[in-house]
Amino acid sequence: MNAIETHHLTKRFGGFTAVDDLTFSVRAGEIFGFLGANGAGKTTAMKMLTGLAAPTSGDATVAGRSIRDHAVSVKKRIGYMSQRFSLYEDLSVRENLRFFGGVYGLDDATLADRIARFETTYHMSGRMHTRVKELPLGIKQNVAFGTALLHQPDIVFLDEPTGGVDPITRRRFWGMLVEEAARGTTLFVTTHYMDEAEYCDRIGMMVDGKLVALDTPARLKQTMGVATMDDVFVKLARGGAA
């Protein structure tokens, strides 16, 4: 089963085509790395897949629903986290969870249960009343991820979740992603760290609005005859084909 399927997905801004005829699919339970240079169209594509922007033409099915016809219902089935914003810094961990639980329409009993489970999963007992801005960055990230999972979405979109994070915390975070994917959640991740691209099941690479490569990291390296994903990225971004 596929968590995401896009069919000729296109977005134009005036004469500029930001996303150009994108057709690909992401399998359920997959960690899908979405790569591309700045301005390649990643953000615009993500905005369409998360129901925040309407396509100019084409369509996509996310969690079994068309983003064109059912954008609201798509939003209920997905989670989103980014390094820059996804929590309220002045609210406590618990208040953030209650807020987002409310946004997703969880009833009190369900929410209490999920918050209790969150507390154990992320070892947060004793920190639930701490304001988010007082948490160390690594913990803040776990909280952001746990919050994105609160309504048990099918797919979580992670937009540069580890930017600026120290190397040990980055690795722990990826360990957590691998565990979550093993439970069946689909993870759609963008990153500028090419070692992290190696941890993805498959990689889609955008250049100038088009998807120019889609494969496992191992096969991309093999096909292109290079040793690292960094080399794959540079070669593709500079106009080579996979």
Nearest distance in Å: CB 109, other proteins: 35
Nearest distance in Å: CB 73, other proteins: 32
Using the minimum distance from each CB to other proteins, give the nearer residue, 212 or 234: 234
Token reading at 115? 């918050």
Nearest distance in Å: CB 7, other proteins: 27
Using the minimum distance from each CB to other proteins, give the nearer residue, 26 or 197: 197
Cα 157 to chain centroid distance, Å, stands at: 2
Closest CA to 4 of 145, 187, 183, 147: 187
The CB-side HSE value for 212 (13 A sphere, CA atoms) comes to 23
Using the minimum distance from each CB to other proteins, give the nearer residue, 21 or 198: 198
Using the minimum distance from each CB to other proteins, give the nearer residue, 150 or 181: 181
C-alpha 104/C-alpha 212 separation (Å) is 36
Nearest distance in Å: CB 102, other proteins: 29
Using the minimum distance from each CB to other proteins, give the nearer residue, 64 or 240: 240
Nearest distance in Å: CB 166, other proteins: 4
The phi, psi pair for 189, rounded to 5°, reads -120, 135
Nearest distance in Å: CB 193, other proteins: 8
Using the minimum distance from each CB to other proteins, give the nearer residue, 118 or 145: 145
The CB-side HSE value for 171 (13 A sphere, CA atoms) comes to 2
Alpha helices in the chain (DSSP H): 42-49, 71-77, 93-103, 108-121, 137-148, 167-182, 194-197, 217-224, 229-237
Using the minimum distance from each CB to other proteins, give the nearer residue, 67 or 200: 200
Nearest distance in Å: CB 64, other proteins: 28
Closest CA to 186 of 169, 196, 175, 200: 200
Contacts of 140 (CB under 8 A, 6+ apart): 87, 132
The angle at the Cα of 101, spanning 95 to 191, to the nearest 5 degrees, equals 90
Binding site for other proteins (CB under 8 A): 36-40, 136-137, 160, 163-169, 171, 174, 178, 192-195, 197-199, 217-218, 228-230, 233-234, 237-238
